[in-house]
A = this chain, B = another copy of it.
Amino acid sequence: MYITGIGRTPFGKLPNTLTELAIKAAHVALTDADLEAKEIDCVYVSNFCAGPTQKQLHLNSLIVNALEIVGVPSIRIEAACASGGAALHQALTRLDEKKFILVIGLEKLTNDPQQAISGISMASHRDLDQANGLIFPAAYALIADVYMRKYNLTVDDLTSIAFKNHQNANLNHNAHFYNKTVTRDMITNSAIVASPLRLYDCSPLSDGSCALVLTKQKRNKRDVAVVASALRSGPLSLTQMADLTTFSSAVKAAKDAYAMADLSPKDIDLAAVHDCFTIAEAIAMEDLGFCSKGYAKNMIRKNQTSLKGRLPINTDGGLKADGHPIGATGLAQIFELVTQMRGEAGTRQVNNAKYGLSHNIGGTGGTAAVHILKKEMK
């Protein structure tokens, strides 16, 4: 199974409609794959909350109409912020029947931020979390608080994560925070959103779209192989979690993915992890086995996850600074891994990445999708 085409829009506050975003990303991906839309056999659409925020459901139909390929089977997948990973997972299982599958993720959040915030809260448990005011910044603040006390992670470590991701985003012209200098002081002095998390610990509301073209057979040497695709569920509510410092869904999905690919965490050269809040990147590093539990801080302090480190993480800036147009996010992670593995990442290029891993989380771990990509040498 291969990714043979990738395309995306910039992420940020964009003037475009959902339809326009979809067309842009799809056409870049199709051009990249040297295919015409009519050659696509099947379309998977990833979107989280266009119903509540844009008054538009039935996006599977909207998008085949926008691409002028009406008739083609098309399905929309929603799994909160893991919608992109879930859609890719689902699409990959259809490659035995279909020649070319387009997976397209999109979200529009900035035109009505209040509706967006209300929509995003629907990824949590309505009775157990939403009704108690446990919106995501609050939930992740509780997680951060428990984690930091237990494992001696400091505010300075969280700042390092944000700082690194903003630096990476400054090398990514598609990023929400491209061309924005963010200093450590700006991060540590930013407004408290939910203590200990400050504004710069939180990913933004972004608009954007990302598309991938999948194929069973390798077509050319720029194609990148998918060697593992795993999806797991976890507790929906924070109140259902036995341990706030780890996401069981991600641990299970990672274990599945390593087994499928016959790899261990040591084999991974590059990762895109779900840093919806800075604390989530630290937890992801441990859930994925990149270090032992509680030792993310060591990797952070040694700069091991920076572009020049031993395991670069979120080279595009991550959700934090590339942006988080929810339905597109899980696919944008793959876009970045493919870009890196093709050697097309320009000033943020990582050297010699053979295996790349993506980690896409819904809510506080209600869903997790993990994919492993491989650069084939010939």
Contact = CB atoms under 8 A, between A and B. Distances in A.
Contact of A249 (B71, B78, B80, B94): B71
A63 B362 CA distance: 14
A362 B122 contact: no
* Central interface residue in A49, A62, A89, A252, by most chain B CB within 10 Å: A62
Interface in A32-62: 43, 48-49, 51-52, 54-58, 60-62
A126 B56 contact: yes
B76 A232 contact: no
Given A231-B75, A366-B58, A65 B122 contact: no
A248 B70 contact: yes
B93 A366 contact: no
Copies of this chain, how many?
Answer: 2
Nearest to A75: B86
B366 A61 contact: yes
A315 interface: no
A124 interface: yes
Interface string A123-150: 1111100100000000000000000000
A74 interface: yes
Contacts of A233: 43, 60-61, 64-65, 70-74
Contact of A55 (B60, B70, B130, B232): B130
Interface stretch (A6-14, A166-174, A200-208, A234-242): A234-242
Contacts of A159: none
Interface of A: 17, 43, 48-49, 51-52, 54-58, 60-62, 64-65, 70-80, 86, 89-90, 93-94, 97, 118-119, 121-127, 130, 231-237, 240, 248-249, 252, 362-363, 366-367
21 contacts: A55-B121, A57-B122, A58-B79, A58-B124, A58-B236, A58-B366, A60-B79, A61-B79, A61-B363, A61-B366, A65-B233, A70-B234, A70-B235, A70-B248, A71-B233, A71-B248, A72-B233, A74-B233, A75-B77, A75-B90, A75-B231
Given A60-B86, A70-B234, A70-B248, 20 more contacts: A43-B233, A51-B51, A51-B52, A52-B55, A55-B118, A55-B122, A57-B122, A57-B123, A58-B78, A58-B122, A60-B366, A61-B234, A65-B240, A70-B240, A71-B248, A72-B232, A73-B231, A74-B233, A75-B89, A76-B77
